[in-house]
């Protein structure tokens, strides 16, 4: 199927006031956070299962690649990490499994339903006080300046209303010498793979979402929001504009997703 038959066209903007996108819809800026909240409230209890189904388990390899690049300390060093838009705790648990005992991870997410699932998983995995869950907005993190040694955000930043503001706040909460790492869906860089990926994501994913959760709409948003996210080079420039140095990116699975890394000097 061609892109034009698979991808819904943008809908028209509401009149007056600042607007942004919610998937392919144009909405008033003030509405987006509530719409995103409703999506993740709806999917929270099936989120982990759906991740495995939608990606055929690939999200696990991508997350592992992020942890490999982060390379958290394994020894005695005190390491204070924040995982923003951390949802059900997947990134946090992987860091804790790899890092030394003096690593502490704060999972911060705007949605209490996602955090609730994460908290239950943390208890089941007996992570104890090495992990905590805090409800907060990536654009206004409830932490003082220069609090963390490293910051990760996985499949989260495309959901925020003002990406530049989230990047600025990432910079603010990192200590000098701190590391920023983002994992996000991106632009497929392998000829031929893009058409297969479009056909799969626009047809199969919302249908799968409907079977598993009873509603395909949240998954239609997820697929559309991926296409609205800036491609690799443009996102790299945004990270640099926020003040980060030595910004680099690495594609995974031919650019289906990409990891961006930068440092606060
Ligand atoms: N990082 C997790 C993972 O990789 O499995 C969860 C990713 S999930 C696709 C996106 C998460 O972003 C949701 O838990 C959602 O609540 C959160 N989110 C959306 N907007 C946010 C914001 N402005 N601030 C913090 N979290 C946000």
User: What are the tens digits of pLDDT across the range 171-190?
Assistant: 999 999 999 999 999 999 99
Interval between CA 130 and ligand 1 midpoint (Å): 21
Cβ–Cβ < 8 Å for 72, 105: no
Is residue 235 in contact with ligand 1, taking CB distance under 6 Å?
Answer: no
Ligand 1 nearest-atom number relative to CA 85: 26
Q: What is the pTM of this model?
A: 0.92
The model's pLDDT over 14-69, given as tens digits with 9 standing for 90+, comes to 556 899 999 999 999 999 999 999 989 988 998 899 899 989 999 999 999 999 99
The model's pLDDT over 121-143, given as tens digits with 9 standing for 90+, comes to 999 999 999 999 999 999 999 99
Q: Does 13 score more than 70 pLDDT? A: no
Q: Does 151 score more than 60 pLDDT? A: yes
Residues 6+ apart with CB under 8 A from 4: none
Pairing of strands 19-22, 131-135: unpaired
Is residue 169 in contact with ligand 1, taking CB distance under 6 Å?
Answer: no
- Whether 9 is covered by a domain: the verdict is no
Is residue 50 in contact with ligand 1, taking CB distance under 6 Å?
Answer: no
Name the pLDDT band for 11 (thresholds 50, 70, 90): very low
- Radius of gyration for the alpha carbons in the chain, expressed in angstroms and rounded: 18
Is residue 54 in contact with ligand 1, taking CB distance under 6 Å?
Answer: no
- Whether 162 is covered by a domain: the verdict is yes
- Whether 61 is covered by a domain: the verdict is yes
Q: Does 249 score more than 80 pLDDT? A: yes
Choose the residue to mutate in 57, 82, 111 for probing ligand 1, maximizing ligand atoms within 8 Å of C-beta: 111
- Whether 177 is covered by a domain: the verdict is yes
Q: Does 9 score more than 70 pLDDT? A: no
- Average pLDDT of the chain is 92
Q: Which domain holds residue 236?
A: 19-263
Provide the CA 163 distance to its chain's centre, in angstroms: 12
- Whether 197 is covered by a domain: the verdict is yes
Per the structure, the count of domains in the chain is 1
For the domain that residue 187 is a member of, what is the CATH number?
Answer: 3.40.50.150
Residues 6+ apart with CB under 8 A from 184: 153, 154, 155, 156, 157, 158, 229, 235, 257, 258, 260
- Whether 29 is covered by a domain: the verdict is yes
- Whether 3 is covered by a domain: the verdict is no
Tell which wins on pLDDT, 71 or 43.
71
Average pLDDT over residues 68-97: 97
Q: What is the predicted pLDDT for the residue at 6?
A: 35
- Whether 190 is covered by a domain: the verdict is yes
CA distance 199 to 55: 14
């Amino acid at each position: 199927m061609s892109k034009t038959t698979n991808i819904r066209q943008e809908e028209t903007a509401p009149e007056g006031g600042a607007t942004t996108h919610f998937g392919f819809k144009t909405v008033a800026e003030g509405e987006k956070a509530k719409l995103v909240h409703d999506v993740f409230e709806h999917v929270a209890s099936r989120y982990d299962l759906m991740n495995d189904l939608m990606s055929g388990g690939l999200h696990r390899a991508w997350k592992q690649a992020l942890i490999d690049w982060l390379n958290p300390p394994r020894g005695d060093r005190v390491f204070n990490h924040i995982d923003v838009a951390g949802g059900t705790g997947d990134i946090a648990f992987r860091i804790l499994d790899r890092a030394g005992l003096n690593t502490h991870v704060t999972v911060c997410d705007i949605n209490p339903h996602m955090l609730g699932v994460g908290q239950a998983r943390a208890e089941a995995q007996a992570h104890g006080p090495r992990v905590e869950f805090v409800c907060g907005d990536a654009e206004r993190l409830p932490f003082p300046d220069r609090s963390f040694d490293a910051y990760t955000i996985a499949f989260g930043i495309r959901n925020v209303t003002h990406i530049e503001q989230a990047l600025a706040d990432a910079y603010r909460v990192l200590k000098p010498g701190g590391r920023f790492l983002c994992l996000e869906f991106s632009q497929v860089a392998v000829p031929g793979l893009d058409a297969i990926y479009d056909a799969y994501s626009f047809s199969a994913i919302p249908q799968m979402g409907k079977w598993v959760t009873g509603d395909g709409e949240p998954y239609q948003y997820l697929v559309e929001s991926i296409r609205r996210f800036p491609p690799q080079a443009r996102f790299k420039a945004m990270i640099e504009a926020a003040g980060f140095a030595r910004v680099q990116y690495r594609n995974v699975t031919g650019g289906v997703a990409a990891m961006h890394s930068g440092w606060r000097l």
